[in-house]
Amino acid sequence: KLTGTIEYRPLYNLRELTHFDISGNQLSGEVEALIAPSVKYADFSNNGFTSMRRFEKYKVRSLQTLRYCDVSNNVIQQNATDILEIIAPNIEQFIASNNNISGSLPASLNNLPKLRQFIMASNALCGDLPDFTQSFATLQELDVSNQTEGFTGPIPEKLWRSLSLKILNLADNRLTGTIPSLVGNLDELEVFDLSNNLINSSLPSELGLLGGG
């Protein structure tokens, strides 16, 4: 297994590099997802990284090309806003589960129209769930379950209008409010988990409409 830290500066000269996978090692230090000008796929999962650099605007080309970023199963201890305030605008899959990322999610997530998979389960996130309005145009999987701090407040109404959602996992938080009849609009939904929250309503009959039921 690879150990130590990564010197990223020389890697940025690899102008044709599109796929970078160093998962399943014992690397530490900082993650730099925009590792090369043409990178589309970056997998840093299952290591010992402790932080993640911001997505820098000056790296214009790689900021536009990145589609997949996986930093799950590390020991990243940062505020979510520091990581996500600037994010690759064409990102399709962002996975950062099983870390120690804290704080609330920034409103900038609204600017990710191609996002299909957003997974930040098993961290220390808190605050209100943001209104992912624009992102939800194509979002298929949202998993922010099992937060040690926990999201609070009601689930945003526009979430129930996200017709492309297939997986919705908000379990093990402190969400309140009710499940509206709009849940019946989620025709594509395959996984629905709101367990271990503070929801104070019965399940609406419209839930039976899912999947043509």
The burial class, CB within 10 Å (0-12 / 13-18 / 19+), for 127 is: middle
Q: What is the CA radius of gyration of the chain?
A: 18
36-75 confidence digits (pLDDT tens): 999 999 999 999 999 998 877 657 777 889 999 999 999 9
Q: What is the rounded distance in angstroms from the CA atom of residue 189 to the CA atom of residue 180?
A: 15
Q: 122: Cβ–Cβ under 8 A, 6 or more apart, which residues?
A: 97, 98, 99, 145, 146, 147
Q: Residue 177, Cβ neighbours under 10 Å: how many? A: 15
pLDDT at site 94? 95
pTM above 0.85, yes or no: yes
pLDDT at site 84? 86
Strands 48-52 and 191-193: unpaired
Under-50 pLDDT residues of the chain: 213
Q: What is the rounded distance in angstroms from the CA atom of residue 163 to the CA atom of residue 184?
A: 10
CA end-to-end span of the chain, whole Å?
49
Which residue shows structure tokens 């399709």? 92
Outline where 38-172 has alpha helix (H): 60-65, 80-84
